[in-house]
Amino acid sequence: MEEKNLHPVTTAKVSPAREEALLFGIKDTDKIESFESMLSELLRLSDSIPEAIAKMVKAALACEFGSKVLEHKKCDSMVKAISQGIMSDTELRRQALLIMDRLAKADELNA
């Protein structure tokens, strides 16, 4: 996977609401809406940072390549590698935390 696909595109045409999808290289409007919708359902404030990032990676993969990609036996190692890459990069980690803050829902632990 090329690193350039993980960095956001910053142009005047990109709204701040779409930056989270661009973090994962998603550019199609329908896919972006699907990504945001999926994340708002998956993310919880009680998720640890690694759990939330793994959920984001899985959502991005499902939106970009279809949910069948998550059924592949090597998917867990791919999600782990991508998640570790995000965690190890200061800017990507910051963006992931912003996504979590914006889209995570309260659950029974912090309602």
Say how many C-beta atoms besides its own lie within 10 A of residue 12's C-beta: 5
Rounded to two decimals, what is the model's pTM? Answer: 0.69
Check residue 99 and give its pLDDT: 83
* Mean pLDDT per 10-residue section of the chain, whose length is 111 residues: 40 48 62 83 90 93 88 91 95 88 72 50
Check residue 21 and give its pLDDT: 55
Check residue 26 and give its pLDDT: 59
Distance CA 14, CA 22 (A): 9
Torsion of CA 98, 71, 69, 47, to 10 degrees: 0
Q: What is the DSSP letter of 36?
A: H
Could you tell me if 67 and 76 are in contact, meaning their C-beta atoms sit under 8 angstroms apart? no
Place of tokens 């998603």: 26
